[in-house]
Structures are given as structure tokens and as C-alpha cells.
Amino acid sequence: MENKVVEVEDLKVYYERGGGLLSKPMYIKAVDGVSFSISRGEVLGLVGESGSGKTSVGKAIAGIVRPTSGKISVLGRDIINLSRGEARRLRPKIQMIFQNPFSSLDPRMRVRDIIVEPLKIAGIKDIDFRVKAAELLEMVGLSEEHLDRFPHQFSGGQRQRIAIARALSTNPELIIADEPTSALDVSIQAQILNLLKELRDKLDLTMLFISHDIGVIRYIADRVAVMYAGKIVELGNKRDVIDEPLHPYTESLLEAVPVPHPSKRRKETIIPGEPPDPINPPSGCRFHPRCPHALDICRTVEPKLIYMDNSRMVACHLYQD
């Protein structure tokens, strides 16, 4: 299985809304046929606007939401249909870091208990939990003196460090970081990103890094998957996708990133038009109502995600016969 930690095949996550005696339920198609893999030690950046489905992909892999269909394998094991025993062994190997460290840490628990909680859930008994928690705190730039405090005694950045320590506690095969910096002050965001990058290099972490900010993805990812309206529209090495984007939506995301250097200042743009309705997405290419290059075929025929070379894929009629 050539070093693949995660393999996702044709994943769909639909959420049911409404429905009753006289009406059928509607389905929000948050993820609508997504496939990718992540190799050991690799960081895959998943980027797209709010509502593109990227968080639902992360939650499906983490087991927080049940996929509607598709396959998710971790280390070659189908993790959607695990027995209770297998789930107990394998689930702790997939850890998630959430966006908001103010809500992701239980305010009634002391830091020492928060950090080792995943180990206890995994049934680990024969270790000194206090020593383990202290080691993990040190790894994220805090210290033993913080062990007995409660989350409200920490700043946002420190809380996210605690959340990262908790995620590392089980020596995870995969970390899913869902917008881990976007709820923090700008001055703290770079510190947390640097910490994640250092830890990734030191521990050879495999990571799915989810962000709406392609600048953050540029900093931390090796490969990039661009999501729009529940689908991946471009996938490839960071240099290819970000330096030479092919898909018009990737181009739009990059144009919307402000350039801080005054001599290189580019007009900051917002992608024109509204993100599509996930209950009733546009026919054909879902980006066509907002795409400056749309062709007639784009309104009726959905473009397939096809290989442009052996590492890069794009779903756009501009590149298809």
C-alpha cells in the first residue's frame, strides 16, 4: 500500500434537513464525491471558502460524522465499519485539533487530565500520566507548572498549545487540524503555525490541514487540495497549485489573498458572486455562475477531476477534450 496513511475514495457526506408528514427531507451535499490520499510524513492542505465541505471531510475521517457513502482507509483498514474493539484501538490514532480552543477544552478539567484523556479512552493504564502530560506540555512550549490549572487560566494561544499536546498524546498516525489558527489573534497565529511546523518536522507527523486561507496552506502544506461546493477541483504539489494554478477557482482564491509588501501590492479582491446553495448546487461545473472563463459546456456537463501529469489533477473543461 506504498506508505499511504489515509486513503479516501468517493466520500459523500450529506446532512438531512427538514422533512415531515407532507414533505420530503432535503439533503445538504456538504461533501459530494471526494477522493485523495496522504502519505506518511506528508501535510495535505485542504483549502476552500467557508461552506465548501472541508470541515465535513475532516470530521468524517475523525469519525465525528458518519459518511453517507464512500470509503475511508487508515493504514489500510476501513475505518467506517470498525468493530467496537477495532475502533477502540484505531480511533485514538486519528486526532483532531479544532478551530476554537475556547470551546474544545472542557472547562471543568485540569490540564493534566485534558492532555492524557485520549490515552485513557484508548485503555492505556500502565504509564505515569502526570509525567506523560508534563512531557507533552514541554513539547508544545508550556511547562510542568501548568499541569494543575484549568483552561480559563490560559490565553487563546496557550489553550491551542494544550489542544495540540492532547492531540499528540497517542502518537497519532494522523492529525486533522481544522482551521487551528483562525480563532486566534493575528500575532499568535504565526506562533501556533510555527509550532505545528516544528512538531511536524521533529515527529514526522502526517497531517490533514484544513484552512480557508491559502496563505496559511502555502506556509505549512506539501500538497494542496482545493475544494469548491463539496468537490475537489484541483489537487497537486504546493508549488504547482499555488505558484501556477490551473483551475479558475484556485486563481480566484489566490487573487483574494492580500499581498503585504507595498511595492508588490495587488488589488485585494473578493471572489465575485455567492457560494452555491449546497442543497441545490448549480448543474455542470458548480463554479460556472462565478467563473470568468465559463464555456457553454460548463453549464450542463460536470468536468471530471483528471490527471494533468503524474501528480496534478484538475476538474475544468478548459483542460479537457
Q: Where does this chain bind ligand SF4 (CB under 6 A)? A: 247-248, 285, 287-288, 291, 293-295, 298, 303, 316-318
Residue type, 203: L
* C-beta of 139 vs 301, nearer to ligand SF4: 301
Residue 208 or 315: which CB sits closer to ligand SF4?
Answer: 315
Q: Give the Cα separation of 251 and 272 in Å (integer).
A: 12
Tell me the sheet residues that pair with 34: 11
CB of 295 to ligand SF4, least distance (A): 6
Residue 108 half-sphere exposure, CB side, CA atoms within 13 Å?
0
Quote the least distance from Cβ 299 to ligand SF4, whole Å: 8
CB of 297 to ligand SF4, least distance (A): 7
Give the shortest CB-234-to-ligand SF4 separation in angstroms: 10
Q: What one-character-per-residue DSSP string does 203-269 give?
A: HT--EEEEES-HHHHHHH-SEEEEEETTEEEEEEEHIIIIIS--SHHHHHHHHTSPP-SGGG-----
DSSP 312: -
Cβ at position 276, least distance to ligand SF4 in Å: 12
| Residue among 199 and 298 whose Cβ is closer to ligand SF4 | 298
Give me the least distance between CB of 246 and ligand SF4, in Å please: 9
294 within 8 A of 286, measured Cβ to Cβ = no
> Could you give the CA distance from residue 168 to residue 287 in angstroms, rounded to a whole number?
38
| Nearest residue (CB) to ligand SF4, 42 versus 302 | 302
- Of 71, 89, 88, which Cα lies nearest the Cα of 80? 71
All three cell numbers of 100: 476554537
- The distance of closest approach from Cβ of residue 5 to ligand SF4 in the complex, given in angstroms and rounded to an integer, is 31
| Alpha-carbon gap, residue 268 to 271, rounded angstroms | 10
For ligand SF4, give the closer residue by CB, 174 or 316: 316
Identity of the residue, 38 or 233, whose beta carbon is nearer to ligand SF4 in the bound complex: 233
What is the nearest approach in angstroms of ligand SF4 to the Cβ of residue 287? 5
In order of 91, 173, 208, the CA distances from 85 in angstroms are: 10, 18, 25
Smallest Cα–Cα separation from 293: which of 271, 317, 269?
A: 317
Contacts of residue 214, defined as CB under 8 A and 6 or more positions apart, other chains included, come to 47, 224, 242, 253, 254, 257
∠126-40-247 over CA atoms, to 5°? Answer: 140
Distances (CA, A) of 67 to 30, 31, 64, 106: 10, 9, 10, 27
Amino acid at 226: V
Nearer to ligand SF4, 193 or 298 (CB): 298
Shorter beta-carbon distance to ligand SF4: residue 189 or 250? 250
Q: Which is nearer to ligand SF4, 52 or 206 (CB)?
A: 52
State the nearest-atom distance from the C-beta of 125 to ligand SF4, in Å: 54
